[in-house]
Structure formats: C-alpha cells, structure tokens
Structure 1
Amino acid sequence: MPRSVLPGRTWLLALLVSAVYVLAQLTAGTSWTLFPDSYRYARAAEQYLGADRGEAHRTALSAFCASRADQVAGSEKLDPLAGEGGPRAAGAASEAACLKRWADAPDITTGDPRYQSIFSSRPGYPLLAAPFVGALGVLDGMRALGLLMAVGGSLTVCGLLRGAGLSPAAAVVGQIAFLASPLGRWSLQALSEGLVTACVLGAVWGGVLMARDRRTVGAALFIGSLAVCTVTRYSTALVLVALIAVTMFVSWLLRRSRTDLLLAGVTTGCAGAVALVMKLLGLPSSEVTLQDTFTRHFRAPEVPDPWARLVDLDLKYWSHWIGEQAVMPFFLVATVLSLWVLLRRGGVLGPLACAVTLTGAAQIAAHPLVQEADRLGVLMWIPVTLGIALVTQAVRDFPSLPNDRTVRVPSSTVETYRADTTDS
C-alpha cells in the first residue's frame, strides 16, 4: 500500500489493532479447526510441494483427524457427564476412529472425479498455503495463513476506507468491525473464504481509486484482485463483476457520472473475460455443483431437474431466513442501514457495496443450505463493515454546540436563537 494512501498514523493504529487481535487468537484460543474442504486444500498443497497423491492424502488426513480430536476433547471438557478417561481419552479415540475410517479411502467425502474437479479447478488457496504448509506443517501452517488472511483483510478494509477519503479513526473502526464480524472468523479458517474476501475488498478498493482519478493504480488493483479471485473461486469472481457492472450502469443512469460508466465498462469486459476463461478451460459449471448438492456428493444417481429443485429449495430456505430475521433482525437492520448510509454518503462505495451484498446473497441462493449459509454469505457483511466506518466519520464531523451555548438552526431566514440560561 503506498504511503499516500495509508499514512503513517493509520499504519500505527491499524498495526496495533492487528497485534492485539493476533495475540488474542494465540492466547485465548479460537474455534479454529480443519473442515473437510481444508483437508482437500491441505492435500493439494502437499502435492504442490512434491508429495504423491497417497502421501499427500495421509499427511492431510492425519492433520484433519488431529484437528477433529482437539474439537472432541474441547467439547468433553465442557460436558458435565463426561465419560471415563476425560478429554484426552475422548480425543484419542476420535482420532483413531477417524484415521481408521479414511486411511485407505481416496477422499474423506468421495473420490468421484466430478466432485474432485470442483476443487482441482480452484488452485488459488492451496497454492498460497503451500509455502506455509511446507515450512510449518499442515496444522500450524494453515493456522498461520488464517491469521495472515484475517489481518490482511482487515488492513485492506483500512486502506480502502482511507482511499475513499475517510479519517484514520474511521478507517480503523472499519478494521475492528471486520475482525469482530463473521468476516474475521471465516478469514481465520483454513478455507478459501479469507482469500476471496481479500480479493473482493481489493476490487472495491480499485473501484474507489478509479473514481478518485487514480485510474491506472485503481484499474491494476481491480483487475489483479479479480484475477486472484478467479483462480481461487471463479464462480464468485464472475458473479461479482457481473453485478458490479449492473449496479454501476444503474448508478450511471441515475447520476450520469462518467466514472460510473467507466467502471460499468471495465467490469463488463472483466465479466466477459472470466466467462471466456471458464469456457476455454472447461471448468465445472453450476450444473455440476447442483448435481453435487442433490446427489449428496454424487453418492446417488444424478437428478433430471436440478434447477427446479434449486428453486424449491431456495423458497424453503429464504422463508426460513425471513423467520430468523423476524426473531432477531440485527443483520438485516445493520445491512439496510449500512447500504442506506453508503448510498447517501459513500459515493461510488454505494453501488459497489450493493453489488457485494448481492454477490453474497447469490452464493447462498446457489447453495441454499442452512449449515453452509453463514460461510457462503459472509460477503454480505462487507457493506456493514464499511457502513459502520461511514457512520463513525459522520459522527466525527457532526458540528458541536458553541461554548456560549448559542444554537444555530439552519433555515431560510438564517435566524439565531440563544438558549435561555435562567429559570422561568
């Protein structure tokens, strides 16, 4: 980040927040663990480091089972009716059972080539993880990478907000909001969410810089972030740029800003480029991922009507989601208010934030599973993070009353009223 974008004062504040966050994660403990997808990323990282498929499987499986054993032991500590032997025995039993179950299997889910192609076509995260895994091992390496992703994402938020013209204090508030939200939690995990989130933030930052007449730097940041996002999760990259193109075109129709039209044109070209790459490389389409959903990872025969089933599942999921929000509408209220603030006061951040929100919603709509929704829709928290920073800026800029207690009320006649300091 150039010093002109993120001055020294902001650096010091942001790095202090990052240091406190890392210290808290390393000392207080976290919910960090390896997920089934983490196993596949670790296996791919081992293969990039030179291991054959069998050796990579055994190394990744060992780390996965050890991580799950830690989870079981942690749960056992909190169980008032824990069995004999305590947490250590429960963890050891879990690890042994895990290793026995999957030692001779090609994958902990399925070895079906259609399922494996979904992961082999997304090399970005395991390539990034490979040096960490090589230096520290699977568990420590992927945890270190998670910390780097969470801190890096928070610093990107800080730089983005400074690039948009906000004060250092407001930018750091945005950083803290990032770390305190699900964005920080999922960036911390051994999954591709952290890298994808950083790429999305980088693309938004690039759009902001282009709107502030730093078009060369902004375009390079936008296209570079999009390229990394494409090799990490190309479906997200395609949906993101398509939605940015739509929202910027709508913004141009409303504001007639040449910058909005420029961004709409750039993102339309990027969307076409991503779609062309997917076609030329024969990457798995949405049809494959839908079959994966409705066949339980290809364990059952393929279904003839995956799109009709998706519509039906979406209707059920979003009905459930509305019910949840009716009971505890914090996220919905925070999102609506944040988007309102961003559209009113954020300039180009407004339509960009709308596109990011819709991207998160689209990812859930493509896989409307309750157990996956928090992770797949995590991008919907980015506008909340940016909106909190803008509210902080607005509060900071709010005029205070003069010391003589004279209250100035703006009106067409510009009248001045003096507060009565005596009792009636």
Structure 2
Amino acid sequence: MSRTPTSRRTWLLPLLVCGVYVLLQLAAGPSWTLFPDSYRYARAAEQYLGASRSEAHHTALEAFCTSRSTAAAESKALDPLPEPAAADAASCLKRWADAPDITTDDARYQSVFSSRPGYPLLAAPFVGLFGVLTGMRVLGLLMALAGSLVVAGILRSAGLSPPAAAVGQTVFLICPLGWWSTQALGEGLVTVCVLGAVWGGLLMTRGRPLSGSLLFTGALAACTVTRYSTALVLAALIAAAALLTWCFRRSRGVLLLGATAAACAAAIALVMKLLALPSSEVTLQDTFTRHFRSPEVPDPWARLVDLDLHFWRHWLSEQTAMPFFLVLTALALWMLLRYGGVLGPLACAVALVGAVQVAAHPLVQEADRLGVLMWVPVTLGIALLTPSLPGFRSLPFDRTVQVPDPTMEPHHADTTASR
C-alpha cells in the first residue's frame, strides 16, 4: 500500500526540526570548544586509529589548545578592559607538550577514562575523517539530533500525535540535554542510550516484547561501555519503577520490563566485578584529592555526605530564587503521571539517575553536566500539554489512531485514539 501525503508529512516534521536546529548550530559560530576530558577522549580516539600514545597526545593537545585559544580570544573581544596578555595556542602547547596528560598521569585517574571506551570508539571515525575539532563537533551535532529523534519516537510510541512529538523533540534540543549532547564529551552518547532504554521499556509494556527487549538491552549495553556506573544505576532504578508500577497495574509487559531491568543490573554489576573496573571509591578519592594530587583521605564517604548536605542546600536556594526548572519539572511530572502507563515512572527513574550522579559528585562546576538527565521529564512531559492548546488539532499532520497501551485503562486508550 502506498503512503498517503499526510503519512509522508509525518516523517517530514521531525526532519524539519532537525534541519532548523542544524542551521542554528551553524549560525552559532566558534562558541563550541573542547573540555579537558575532551582532550583525553580525542587522545584515545587517535590511539584507536593507530597513533602512538605520544602522537595521539600531541594531536589532541593541539586541538585542545587551539579551541581554548579561540575561546579566550572571543572572550577578550567582549571585555572593555582586556588583560594585556591572553592565553594563546603556542603557550598552551609549550606548557603541556612534554607532559603525559594535561591533568595528571596517575594510573588511578587514567583508569577512569580507559574503562569507558564507548565514546572515543564512536568518535574515532569522525576524528579520522575530519580531524579532532571538526570531527568531534560533527559527532556532537549528530548525537543531539539522534537524541531528539529518539524523544520523538518515544512520544509517538506513547500515543501522541506527530506535532506533539515534535514539541518534545524541540524541547530536548533547546534545553540543557541538547546543549550537552553537542559537546565533545560522553554526555551525548549516554543520553541517547538512556533514552533508547526508555523507548525499549515503553515498547515492552505496549505489546511489543521482542523489539522492546532488544532495544532496552542494546541501549544498556552501549551505555555500559560508555559509562558503566550510569548504566548500573539506570537499570536498577527502572527495575524499581517497574515493580512499583506493577503494584498498581498488574501487567505482563511491566513485569517483563522489571525482570529484564533487574537482570541487566545484575549483569552490569558482575561485569564490573570481573573486569575490576574503577569503583565509586576511586572516583571519590579523585574528588577529594583533586585528581590524586593530594594524599588519599581516610573517610571519603563521610566527606561525601557532608559535601552533599552543603551542595543540595545551595542548589535548592538557587532553584527557588529562579524556579524555572522546578516549575517545569512539577508541571511535566503531573502531566506524565496523569497520562498513565509506564512513561511517567520511566521518566522519574531517569531523572533520579541524574540526581544520583550529582549526589556522587556534588561539585557546583559539574552539576549541570552530571545532572542533565534531570531534564528528561520536562522533555517528555511538556509535549503532553500541546494537544490541549488552541488550534493545535488543526495542524496538517497525520492523526492515525495509535495502538492502545495494554497497561492503560479504557478511557486512556480512548483519549489516545482521539488524538
């Protein structure tokens, strides 16, 4: 059967959103830059391409220094009274040319990155084709677009219309999830993996157990290779969310999701133990010794609790002074839980993953990046508001009836079909 014009337009809408976003990113100019962790990922990518450690270091360092010099020059141009001397690429290269790493070559610190090969492996072909700077920027843009398309897929599978799914896709791109996905860091790949697990979990509860299970386990496997701690926490929290959902709505799909997530969590924990991957003890010592420049502390967990108490008090005061995030999150969670099904519990589980990551590293300068998954409920929940907006239903896009969610009550399925 041939596709109708309205069906074809359904696929054009998310691509149109992607096209507009690409144009905006091109207009952004040289605002993109490398982070210190980006240098290490670039160095690993170069080594995967066959370069020696020394060659990879110099190639990654040159890209890092160039991007930092460009950023410094942009900042200096905006300063009415600039300092007479500004950091340039030459001085940066001279400072680190003979150093083994721009932070520290301590084996414990390096093991944190060597145990997470997912992102540099993905970056390697882009670095090989375009060079470090352009290659990693292209990859970041593709990660943001991929994440937005997965969001659109989640919302379509949940029963929303194409325009409503496009709203969720747009929210993803304009909120911190989109921004951090474009950076030369592992956040973009981790976000795509996490959203892929959400999509797979949703499909499992909506009568598609095989494809849902494959997507869920595949996304968690990719996340494990990229950042195993995030994958472990995500699998455990999704298992808990599924169990809680099953207590209120008995469903084979929800039970399958909970069992699969629990099995994945156990498998990830086993892999971590068998491969002796760096544990939370190592990352805590890294935090409290400033990347192992100082002697290890005897009580890292007690210090973490104390630091968390101060951090969350500071975070809450900042959020209440400008409650943009809190208001959006409350509204989104209300819409998600009111909508029914497993989408709300899954979104809550992902948000808690972001909160756990911040609690494990309660540093003000890293909180936005580590807690970026806390924006997932906003991305998914705001889209649920759109069908009630005036004139929204008159948009010229496909309104095909969705397959009802087996876990939803009849009135929910009827509401979905009316959309």
TM-score by length of 2: 0.90
1:370 aligns to what?
364
- Which of 236, 239, 246 is the equivalent residue of 1:245? 239
Contact 1:9–1:168, Cα closer than 8 Å, also in 2? no
Contact 1:341–1:390, Cα closer than 8 Å, also in 2? yes
Residues 1:193 and 2:187 aligned together = yes
Q: 1:275 to 1:349 in 2, by over 3 A?
A: same
Using the TM superposition, give the Cα deviation of residue 43 of structure 1 relative to its aligned residue in structure 2, in angstroms.
Answer: 0.1
Secondary structure of 1:51's partner? Answer: coil
Q: Which one scores higher on RCO, CA 8 angstroms, separation ≥ 6?
A: 2
Distance 1:370 1:194 in 2: 21
2:117 aligns to what?
123
Deviations along 1:352-389, whole A, 9 cap, x unmatched?
01100100000000000000000000001111000011
Contact 2:239–2:261, Cα closer than 8 Å, also in 1? yes
Residues 1:177 and 2:171 aligned together = yes
1:40 aligns to what?
40
Q: Percent identity?
A: 73
Contact 2:30–2:70, Cα closer than 8 Å, also in 1? no
Amino acid at match of 1:304: P
Residues 1:287 and 2:281 aligned together = yes
Amino acid at match of 1:323: S
1:255 aligns to what?
249
Distance 2:136 2:257 in 1: 36
Matches within 5 A, 1:44-193: 44-82=44-82, 90=86, 93-193=87-187
Q: Which runs of 5+ in 2 are unaligned?
A: 395-419
Contact 1:10–1:172, Cα closer than 8 Å, also in 2? no
Distance 1:101 1:82 in 2: 23
- Which of 317, 327, 331 is the equivalent residue of 1:323? 317
TM-score by length of 1: 0.89
2:407 aligns to what?
none
Residues 1:382 and 2:376 aligned together = yes
Using the TM superposition, give the Cα deviation of residue 399 of structure 1 relative to its aligned residue in structure 2, in angstroms.
Answer: 9.8
Distance 2:76 2:230 in 1: 38
Amino acid at match of 2:260: V
Q: Which runs of 5+ in 1 are unaligned?
A: 401-424
Matches within 5 A, 1:388-407: 388-395=382-389
Q: 1:7 to 1:208 in 2, by over 3 A?
A: farther
- Which of 351, 355, 358 is the equivalent residue of 2:349? 355
Using the TM superposition, give the Cα deviation of residue 256 of structure 1 relative to its aligned residue in structure 2, in angstroms.
Answer: 2.4
Distance 1:379 1:227 in 2: 18
Amino acid at match of 1:361: A
Distance 2:136 2:235 in 1: 29
Using the TM superposition, give the Cα deviation of residue 97 of structure 1 relative to its aligned residue in structure 2, in angstroms.
Answer: 1.7
Residues 1:215 and 2:206 aligned together = no
Secondary structure of 1:296's partner? Answer: coil
Amino acid at match of 1:271: A
Amino acid at match of 1:18: C
2:411 aligns to what?
none
Distance 1:399 1:175 in 2: 18
Distance 2:7 2:257 in 1: 27
2:405 aligns to what?
none
Distance 2:369 2:283 in 1: 17
Q: Between Structure 1 and Structure 2, whose CA radius of gyration is higher?
A: 1
Using the TM superposition, give the Cα deviation of residue 83 of structure 1 relative to its aligned residue in structure 2, in angstroms.
Answer: 5.3
Residues 1:231 and 2:225 aligned together = yes
1:412 aligns to what?
none
